[in-house]
Amino acid sequence: MKRYSFYRVVLSILFSYMYCITLTAQPTPPSGKKWQKVNQLTDDFNSFDSSKWQKGHPYWSGRSPSQFNNNNLSWQNGNLRLKGSLRNSNRQGDFIWTACLTSKSKSFKKGMYAEARIKNADMAIVSSFWMQGSETEIDVIENWGEVKNNRWRHLDYSMEMNTHYFPKPCGFDCDKTTQKHYKNPGNVGNSSAYAVYGVWWVDSRNIRWYRDGRQVASVTLPYDFNEDMFMFFDMEAFTWGPGLPSNADMNNGNKNTAYYDWVRTYKLVNGNSTGGGNGGNTAVAALKGNNAKYVSSENGTKPMTCNRNQIGGWEKFEIKVIGSTNGNDIVTLKGNNGNYVSSENGTKPITCDRPRVGAWEKFELIHHGNQVYSLKGNNGKYLSSENGTRSMTCSKTNIGNQERFNIQYGLSRANDIDSQKSVGFSVYPNPTLGKEVTIDVGANAGMNLLKVYDIQGRMILDKQFTENQYQINSTLLGAKGLYIIKIKNDSGDFTKKIFN
C-alpha cells in the first residue's frame, strides 16, 4: 500500500510538471532564435506588484455606462480579480463599477509574445486582455461571459480579437479595425472554464492569436504597428446587441468576478530552441490528409503518396523551422531516410530524396487553426494530397480540402507500436487537475467511438460523437489515478493514458 502511494505521488508530480510545460509552450520561434521571459510583464498575481503594475487606467476612466474603480481590484488565491458591481440601482448614467490593471510602462514591444490564463465573469460584461500605444491597439480578447439577447448568444462561447489603428490627428474618429472571431472548442462558455489566451506581435504588419497554445487567427495589416504599448486587464460594459448585466448579476459574487490566474510575456533572443510542437525549431510529426490517410515518404524510392492507414517510419517527418515570411514559418521536411521532401517545382510528383536543402525543399507553413496547415512551395503553389488516389503534387493554385493537412506533433523517431497507436487524437489537460478534459481528433471528423476505462479495466464511459472535439467533465472519472482513453474511427483504434 505504501509503495503504491509513493509511485502515485511520483506520477502526480511528473504529470504536473508535464502539464506546466504544455501550458507555457510558446509559438515556434524563427530559426536561430529562442524565447526569453520578460519579467516586467510576467506575474503569477499572488499579490499586487507595484513595480510592474498600476491600478486603474493612465488616461481613461472606462467605457460608459461603466467606470473604473480601484476598489474592484483584488488579489486572492493566486488570482487577480476584477469585479463588476452596481454603482446606481436606478441604472442611470454610469451605473456600473468595473476595474482595470495597467502595466507600469509601455513595455510590450514588437516581436513579443504574451499569454494570460483567464476565466470570464458570468454576466453580460466584457473581460479583456489588451495592449495599446498612442495610435495602435491589439486586443487579445474582448470576451463576453453572458449575453442577454439570443441573437448574440454565440458571443458567450467565442474568443473575440481585434486590432485598432487610430493615427493622429483624428485619433479614434478615424479608427481602422480588424476583427477576428474563434468559436471555443465544444462551445465551452467563456465563464465556464479557464483558458490561456495569447498573442504574438510577429512584426510591423503581422499579428497571430492563440488559445490554449494553438493558433486560432492571424492578420496581415495594411499599416505599420511599431510603437511600444501598455498592457491592460480590464472589464467594460457595452450598450449594443449583447445587452447589459442585471442589478442582481452585479450583486452576485458568484457571477460578477473575472479571474486572471497569471500572465507571461516573452521576447526573442539569439539562440536555438529544442523540442517540438509549439515549443521549438524542430519536431517529429505526421501529416494526415482530408481523406483521413497519412502522407508517406515512400522512403525516397518513388513519388510520395497520402494513402497510409497507420503511422510507421515512412509516415514520420522531421519538420524544421528555418525562417519566416508573410507572418508564416518557412520549414523543411526530412524523411526517415535522412533526405528532404522536394516540391519538384510543381512540374512532377513530389519526392523525398534530396540530400540537401535548396529552394524546392522549402515550404511556407500556413496555419488554419486546430493543427490544420497548408504548405506552399517556392513556386507559389500548394501541396496536395491528391485524395490519396495518385502521387502527390505541389501544383495547386488555391487551397481546397486536399491542400489541408492535420499535422500531428509529438511523435518519437522510433517506429514502435505505442507511438503509432497514440497519435490518432490528443487529450488535454493531462493530468486533468480537476478541469474539463478535451478529446481532440483533429481533422478526423465523422463517427468516433469513445471509451474510457479505469486502471482495473472497468469501462466508465461509452460514447459516440461526430465533432472534432468532445469534452469530459473530470468529475466523471472519479477517483485520482490513471485512466485509459480509447478512440475508434475510420483511421483505426487509438489509445492514450490520462491522470486524473
How would residue 494 be classed by pLDDT, with cut points 50, 70 and 90? confident
Residue for grid cell 504544455: 22
Same domain, yes or no, for 319 and 396?
A: yes
CA distance 444 to 493: 13
Average pLDDT, the chain: 85
Cross-sheet strand order for the sheet of 426-428: 426-428, 437-440, 469-472
Cross-sheet strand order for the sheet of 85-86: 66-68, 96-98, 85-86
DSSP class of residue 430 equals S
- Indicate the length of the chain as a whole number: 500
* 60-72 mean pLDDT: 97
Task: Kindly report which listed range (210-214, 230-234, 269-273) carries the lowest average pLDDT score.
Answer: 269-273
In a domain, residue 239? The reply is yes
Same domain, yes or no, for 360 and 460?
A: no
Q: What is the pLDDT of residue 417?
A: 30
CATH code (residue 239): 2.60.120.200
Instruction: Write out pLDDT tens, residues 10-26.
Output: 333 343 333 333 334 57
Same domain, yes or no, for 322 and 248?
A: no
User: Which of 270, 298, 313 is a domain's end point?
Assistant: 270
Instruction: Write out pLDDT tens, residues 239-251.
Output: 988 999 999 999 9
CA distance 228 to 247: 39
Q: What is the pLDDT of residue 410?
A: 58
* 414-419 mean pLDDT: 35
Q: What is the pLDDT of residue 278?
A: 37
Same domain, yes or no, for 177 and 52?
A: yes
The domain total for the chain is: 3
User: Which of 212, 246, 270 is a domain's end point?
Assistant: 270
User: Which of 245, 270, 295 is a domain's end point?
Assistant: 270
Same domain, yes or no, for 462 and 397?
A: no
Same domain, yes or no, for 266 and 306?
A: no
Secondary structure (DSSP) of 116-169:
EEEE--SSSSEEEEEEE-SSEEEEEEEEES--SSGGGGGGGGEEEEEEEE--TT
User: For residues 321 and 441, is the Cβ–Cβ distance under 8 A?
Assistant: no
Same domain, yes or no, for 140 and 234?
A: yes
Domain residues for 437? 424-499
Extract the C-alpha cell encoding 266: 516573452
User: Is residue 4 predicted with pLDDT exceeding 50?
Assistant: no
Q: What is the pLDDT of residue 10?
A: 39
Same domain, yes or no, for 100 and 176?
A: yes
The pTM (predicted TM-score) of the whole model is 0.56
* 312-335 mean pLDDT: 85
How would residue 415 be classed by pLDDT, with cut points 50, 70 and 90? very low
CATH code (residue 324): 2.80.10.50
Instruction: Write out pLDDT tens, residues 262-293.
Output: 999 999 988 654 433 333 467 788 999 999 99
Q: CB 109: neighbour CB atoms within 10 A?
A: 16
Instruction: Write out pLDDT tens, residues 165-188.
Output: 999 888 878 889 999 999 998 889
Instruction: Write out pLDDT tens, residues 191-204.
Output: 999 999 999 999 99
φ and ψ of 479, to 5 deg? -65, 160
Same domain, yes or no, for 100 and 214?
A: yes
User: Pick the residue with more confidence: 16 or 336?
Assistant: 336
